[in-house]
Structure 1
Amino acid sequence: MAVSSRIEDYMETIFALEVSGKEATVTDLSNALGVAKATVVAAVRRLVAASMVTHERYGALRLTETGRERALHIYRRHEHLTFLFQDILGFERERAMAMACAMEHEMDEKAEARILGFVDYLVRARRDGREWVQDLLSVMGDERKLPRPLSMMPKGEKGVVSRVTADGPLRLRLFEMGFVPGTVVARRGEAPLGDPLTVDVRGAEVALRRIEAASVWICACPE
């Protein structure tokens, strides 16, 4: 029987209670997940049917070996993502946990391994005092330094092409027009009809439709 992401939340909560040295009950799950006891009972029935949990009437809930192994993977992803969002990116704990909960069920082992490797490398670099780490965290914390589509750049502002997301002929045409990563561009205004944007790039003035300009991502010019 397939187990949904919501049902996995019950397994993770049972596991977290076990880790803390407690026995999970219907009341505990109801309180922890903010749902009615009747909803918990229905979920527990599904877990019992899937051989993930054992439950004696009015007794504690216990994960089976299969259930505990699966719950461990979910719990590990949750803790890992919470660490990333809270300790690395600086979000408040409740917000970090909410984002971790939203992501953990969509990750496969390959995605988890890549993110785990990235976070571990970042933590070691920060511990070793690498200057680029603070620069990276500074950029992530300053909305003005984040890339944005050219169509969102205010008139009169300059920026540096970060990337071009278009594919096929449009991508090639944008490159030929000079929108190559690292190039400084300046937003001038709009054509008389309102839709095309006029942009200075490599000493020439070019016009782009807004849909085309949305494919060119710009970062702020270095100070």
Structure 2
Amino acid sequence: MDGVSLTPNMEDYLEAIFYLKNLDPVVRVRDIARRLEVTMPSVSDAVKALKKLGLVRHEPYGHVELTDQGEILARKLLMRHHQLTHFLRDILGVDSETAESDACRIEHVVSHESMERLLALIGAIESCADKNCSISARNKKNRVRIPEVALHHNATSGLHTLEPGRTAQVAGVSPHKTMRRRLLDMGFTHGALVQMCEGQNLGAPYDVRIKGYTISLTKKQAELVQIHNS
């Protein structure tokens, strides 16, 4: 991706660092180990490899910081994952948990060329759904031609950052052993509109309106729910 060759494990580490950075600017080796449920020596080895590629900055016993290139790449990896999950869940109708798991597998095994074409197809499907048009055509060589579609995506942030009275669209729910399934069951699914209730102090608990209901969330739950920035 972008001229940088990463193994699936290195991609996971890069995404984890980006996720943790959005929770706390200071990301340490132990935080990454806890997030990915791996040993600290494994994290240290991965961080050294990412540092050699110019994607992170890290000194012994210090915190881990993404470089500008590392942050750009991490954002692309995360957005790619969201796109694949959305395609499997919302277009193909796969259940949310399976879509999340399969998206992880797909993004790590297909070639860069196939991934780019798949993402273009997803964009074409979404574009043509609004225009009621055909998404593919046969060219002279009898191959499927996918329309050129520019994929533009807003950055995402945690629901806890939404200001009282403001409404945003849910982008997804970050992986978590126990809370993710619960949040999806509450209605925090891709595309749902959520509003931060007015008349409350900043900080947990967070009272939000979604699908006609008022729900109170803990700080951790609100951080896991990702929303599109307007």
TM-score (norm 1): 0.49
